[in-house]
Amino acid sequence: MFSRILIANRGEVALRIIRACKEMGIETVAVFSEADRDALHVSMADESYCIGGPRATDSYLRIDSLITLAKAVRCGAVHPGYGMLSENAEFAAACEEEGIVFIGPSADVIRKMGLKEVARSIAVRNNIPVISGSDILGSFEEAAKQALKIGYPVMLKARSGGGGKGIRIVRSEEEMEKAYSEVSKEALGSFGDDGIFMEKYIEQAKHIEVQLLADADGKVIVLGDRDCSVQRRNQKLIEECPAPVLDEEVRRRMYDSAVKLAGDVGYVTVGTVEFLVKGDEYYFLEMNTRLQVEHSVTEMVCGVDIVEWQIRTAAGVAIPFTQEDIPHGRCAIECRICAEHAGDCMPAVGRVELLHIPGGMGVRFDTALYQNFEITPFYDSMLGKLVVCADTRDAAIRKMKSALSELILAGVDNNREMHMRFLEDVRFVMGTYDTGIYEKVF
């Protein structure tokens, strides 16, 4: 097992990793930007080092600085968290070259599954259903031609995209030129790769993902599934485990597909396979080769510390439990609490003047907030994840409404009331909602 780990991230996920490491007896080294000097992860780690200016490009995304520091402070491994460099094959390769363990899959696997057209081809060779689509598009004219062939509406997607960026729904030929230009620019600016492909856009579908844990011996365990259909601009807002109103036969087939895909590429550690589901049909979307924000909601149901086992499998530890050992039957819901203005949903900044965190049986709030903490404009707007778990879905909804009503966060505009509105919506209560629910509720 590792004796010391460098955490190449910030905020809530850095704290989550630090806590797991403390329980495992592993020393932690945190990094921080000039804007994060007073951040909680800085004080909770065993050691902390400033690595640059407030913008992520000047600090948390500096591969050279992270590798240099990891070597200097004798860290045997680096945990990338989620976001930032977590799916960056160059970072994983740099760690491998320096003899530092990247806590995640290999650089080769990240490359394969990170390029969506490659991941799609791997799914096809494993007889996993995929949505009809195109290869990488070379121009707007080619995109327009492919769209006519596939049939509108279509979705333009950056092959290196993630986090809801580099995606546009196109409903007509008149919209294509503008959408193609926007996706290309956003992809290049966000991921350094302007490669774009196209898929048929399936409306009124559910976005379901399967959480995997795999070890170096080829053992792959399914820890559960999540419904992530409550989205705004392709960014997730609410997740729940397990997915409601999902046909059990479809669930079984999705699990089999996810395990098959992981086995094909020799996947190790934690990963998630995402699908679109409509009726009794499902389609492969992508594989996230990292820990996900919503791992917490699965932990509440399956009882496995996903971060701990991500670290253990990266260190070569074999998974000692079997698929049959994973409990199921309980229900958990997660609401992402974000700093945003109610009117235009734009990110908000400010100082936390008053903070009260909900409590009680089956309630969890993963956050790096504390009173008087300053929310800056430099990073993602998520302030924390409020998670509840109960024996039934109805009970989980009631528990979440109670927890949201108890949450007090003054000084920073946030989306608590938006979540309350979703929980009152009949489509959500019935579990029949799909990826278009945001537009229907708001």
- pLDDT tens digit sequence for 116-127: 889 999 999 999
**Cα dihedral value 72, 73, 79, 83, nearest 10:** -60
CATH topology (fold) of 4-103: Rossmann fold (3.40.50)
- Whole-number pLDDT of residue 163: 67
Instruction: Give the pLDDT confidence score for residue 135 in this predicted structure.
Output: 87
At 160 the pLDDT is 79
Q: Which of 111-115, 197-201, 258-262 has the highest mean pLDDT?
A: 258-262
What distance in Å separates the CA atoms of residue 394 and residue 390, rounded to the nearest whole number? Answer: 9
Q: What is the pLDDT at residue 111?
A: 94
Please state the rounded mean pLDDT for residues 125-134: 93
Chain centroid to Cα 157, Å, comes to 17
Question: Above 90 in pLDDT, residue 283?
Answer: yes
Rounded mean pLDDT, 8-21: 98
187: confidence class by pLDDT, cuts 50, 70, 90:
confident
pLDDT of residue 251: 97
Examine the residue annotation and report whether 233 is marked as an active-site residue of this protein. Answer: no
Residues 6+ apart with CB under 8 A from 286: 113, 116, 119, 273, 274
In this structure, are residues 409 and 370 in contact, taking their beta carbons and an 8 Å threshold?
A: no
Percent of the chain with pLDDT over 90: 91
The full set of domain ranges for the chain reads 4-103, 132-200, 206-441
Give the closest residue to 68 by CA, choosing from 29, 117, 25, 108. 29
- Assign residue 408 a region: left if phi > 0, alpha if psi is -120 to 50, beta otherwise? beta
Of 290, 364, 393, 416, which one is the catalytic site residue? 290
How far is the C-alpha of 187 from the C-alpha of 20, rounded, in Å?
34
Of 113, 82, 333, which is closest to residue 228 (Cα–Cα)?
A: 333
List all residues 6 or more positions away from 279 whose beta carbon is below 8 Å from its beta carbon.
Answer: none
CB-facing half-sphere around the CA of 217: CA atoms within 13 A: 9
Confidence of residue 115 (pLDDT cuts 50, 70, 90): confident
Contact between 243 and 167 (Cβ < 8 Å):
no
Pick the CATH number of 132-200 from 3.90.25.10, 1.10.3720.10, 3.40.30.10, 3.30.1490.20: 3.30.1490.20
Is 296's pLDDT higher than 80? yes
Which two structure tokens, joined as six digits, stand for 104?
A: 């995640």
What number of other Cβ atoms are within 10 A of residue 263's Cβ? 14
The pLDDT of 184-202, averaged and rounded, is: 87
248-265 helix and 107-114 helix, angle to the nearest 10 degrees: 130
pLDDT beyond 80 at 419: yes
In this predicted structure, the answer to whether residue 246 has a pLDDT above a threshold of 90 is: yes
Strands (E) across 292-416 are located at 331-338, 350-351, 354-356, 363-367, 374-375, 382-390, 408-410
CA distance 93 to 203: 38
The CATH number of the structural domain formed by 206-441 is: 3.30.470.20
pLDDT class for 52, splitting at 50, 70, 90? very high
Rounded distance between C-alpha atoms, residue 260 and residue 266, angstroms: 10
- The pLDDT value recorded for residue 266 is 97
Mean pLDDT estimate for the chain? 95
| Identity of residue 410 | A
CA atoms within a 13 Å half-sphere pointing along the CA-CB vector of 230: 27
Tokens of 391: 């024996």
Specify the pLDDT at position 379. 95
Q: What is the pLDDT of residues 136-185, one digit of tens each?
A: 999 999 999 999 999 999 999 988 777 677 899 999 999 999 999 999 99
